[in-house]
Structure 1
Amino acid sequence: MKYYTRPQVLVLSGLDPSGGAGIQADIQAITSLGCHPLPVLTCLTVQDTRNVYGAEAVNPELIREQLRCISEDAPIHAVKTGALGNSEVVDVLVEFLEKHPDIPVITDPVIKAAGGGDLADDELLVTMKERLFPLAEMITPNGIELELLGENSSPAEAARKLLEKGCTSVLATGGHGTGIRITNTLYNHSPTPISWELDRIGGEHHGTGCTLAAAISAGRALGLSPRAAISQAQNYVHRAILHALEVGKGQPVPDRGILWEQ
């Protein structure tokens, strides 16, 4: 019997019991876009479609063993990270990534839930900025996260500061804005940033940031350039929002299980 293969994406993210964000969003998006997810759980959350009420990191030593075990068994074509729990988990991840420098890493720097709940403390933020971001091909902060990380209310200036500290590229996402159009802007070390504009559909949706970053990682695993992976991911998220699901009493959830056609 002949077995088939797909590009594989290693995912490190948290568990959202509502199924709207976190590792479930990553698994669904990566699978829908033609890749196989290799999921490693980093933290457990108390969460619904309205907010995050608590979180607890997974034992970093368990994560270290999972990374060792899966990397010795399966090829990894891209890495996607979401909520990481605490700075010790970041240290374990950095140790792993330093041994695999050729794998593209897409980092969604999850700091706060849309409802305002915290998913990262100051120590975790510092460790991500100093150790993880320089190893990532792209980080994908929303407006709130970019201002916190870059310590500036100007997206361009905040992105510049992050690039100066070692980031390869920053995709500043506009989904948390209020205009009729969403603007996503890619800042890197070229003189002019690249922007994409998309129609805003309704209000905020639960898990769109996770979905976008996961979709970008799938595109990179499939061999797309960073710009092409961003374009495909944006189209995928837009379509998933058009078919959003009413899961709970809070934000609707993108339908990431839609049949995807490029």
Structure 2
Amino acid sequence: MKYHTRPQVLVLSGLDPSGGAGIQADIQAITSLGCHPLPVLTCLTVQDTRNVYGAEAVNPELIRQQLKYVSKDAPIHAVKTGALGNSAVVEVLVEFLARHPDIPVITDPVIKAAGGGDLADDELLGTMKERLFPLAEMITPNGIELALLGESDIPDEAARKLLEKGCASVLATGGHGTGIRITNTLYNGSPTPMTWDIERIGGEYHGTGCTLAAAIAAGRAQGLSPRAAISQAQNYVHHTILHALKVGKGQPVPDRGILWER
């Protein structure tokens, strides 16, 4: 029998028991876009569609061994990271990425749940900024995360500070903003940032940031340019929100399992 192959995306993210965000969101988005996910669980969370109530990181040594054997066995065409648990997990990831510098890395710097629950402490944030961000091709903070990471409430200023500290590019996502349009802005050192606009569908949704970053990683694994990958991902996320699922009593969940044709 002759087998077929797909581009493969290594995913490091946390488990959301509601299935709305985290590693399940990543797996669904990557699969929907025609790639095969290689999932490595970084933390377990106590979470529903309303908030995060607790989290516990996976043993970093276990993650080190998973990365070692998966990468020996399977080609990796892109990497997507989400919630990383603690600083020690980031260090393990950094060691791995240093040995694979040619793989595009899309980092969603997950800090807080939409309900306000914390998913990163100061030590984890510092390690991500100093060690992980310089190895990533793109980070995808929402407005709250951008202000915190870039130490400024002015998006252009916050992004500039992150670029100066080693980020190759910053995609500032606009889903948490207001207005009739969502604007995602790519800062990469060019004189003028590039923007993508799409109609805002009312309300907040659980897992859109995870979905967007995972979809970008899938596009990069398929060989799309960063800009083309962003365009495809944004259209995909918009489609999943148009068909959002009501899972629990909190935010609706993007339906990443619905048929989507590029």
State the alpha-carbon separation in 2 of the partners of residues 162 and 202 from structure 1: 30
| Correspondence for 1:212 | 212
| Correspondence for 1:153 | 153
| Correspondence for 2:169 | 169
Greater shift, 21-30 or 195-204, is seen at: 195-204
State the alpha-carbon separation in 2 of the partners of residues 26 and 258 from structure 1: 14
Greater shift, 171-180 or 223-232, is seen at: 171-180
State the alpha-carbon separation in 2 of the partners of residues 221 and 190 from structure 1: 24
Matched, 1:94 2:94: yes
State the alpha-carbon separation in 1 of the partners of residues 248 and 202 from structure 2: 17
Aligned residue for 2:198, secondary structure, equals strand
**Which residue type is aligned with residue 183 of structure 1?**
T
Give the CA deviation at 1:179.
Answer: 1.2
| Correspondence for 1:49 | 49
Give the CA deviation at 1:178.
Answer: 1.7
Aligned residue for 1:196, secondary structure, equals strand
Q: Following superposition, which runs of at least 4 residues in structure 1 exceed 2 angstroms of deviation?
A: none
Residue ranges of structure 1 left out of the alignment (5+ in a row) = none
| Correspondence for 1:258 | 258
CA deviation profile, 1:232-261 (whole Å, cap 9, x unmatched): 000000000000000000000000011121
State the alpha-carbon separation in 1 of the partners of residues 178 and 194 from structure 2: 21
CA deviation profile, 1:169-221 (whole Å, cap 9, x unmatched): 00000000121111100000111100111111111100000000000000000
Matched, 1:243 2:243: yes
**Which residue type is aligned with residue 176 of structure 1?**
H
| Correspondence for 1:33 | 33
Aligned residue for 1:234, secondary structure, equals helix
**Which residue type is aligned with residue 62 of structure 2?**
L
Aligned residue for 1:50, secondary structure, equals coil
How many residue pairs get aligned? The number is 262
| Correspondence for 1:200 | 200
State the alpha-carbon separation in 2 of the partners of residues 19 and 134 from structure 1: 30
Give the CA deviation at 1:139.
Answer: 0.1
State the alpha-carbon separation in 2 of the partners of residues 12 and 73 from structure 1: 17
Residue correspondence of structure 1 range 59-208 to structure 2 within 5 A: 59-208=59-208
State the alpha-carbon separation in 2 of the partners of residues 181 and 230 from structure 1: 16
Aligned residue for 1:26, secondary structure, equals helix
- Once superposed, what is the RMSD of the aligned Cα atoms? 0.4
**Which residue type is aligned with residue 260 of structure 1?**
W
Residue ranges of structure 2 left out of the alignment (5+ in a row) = none
State the alpha-carbon separation in 1 of the partners of residues 216 and 169 from structure 2: 13
TM-score between the two structures when normalised by the length of structure 1: 1.00
State the alpha-carbon separation in 2 of the partners of residues 257 and 60 from structure 1: 31
CA deviation profile, 1:5-54 (whole Å, cap 9, x unmatched): 00000000000000000000000000000000000000000000000000
Identity of aligned residues (%): 89
| Correspondence for 1:226 | 226
**Which residue type is aligned with residue 159 of structure 1?**
A
State the alpha-carbon separation in 2 of the partners of residues 11 and 258 from structure 1: 21
Aligned residue for 1:244, secondary structure, equals coil
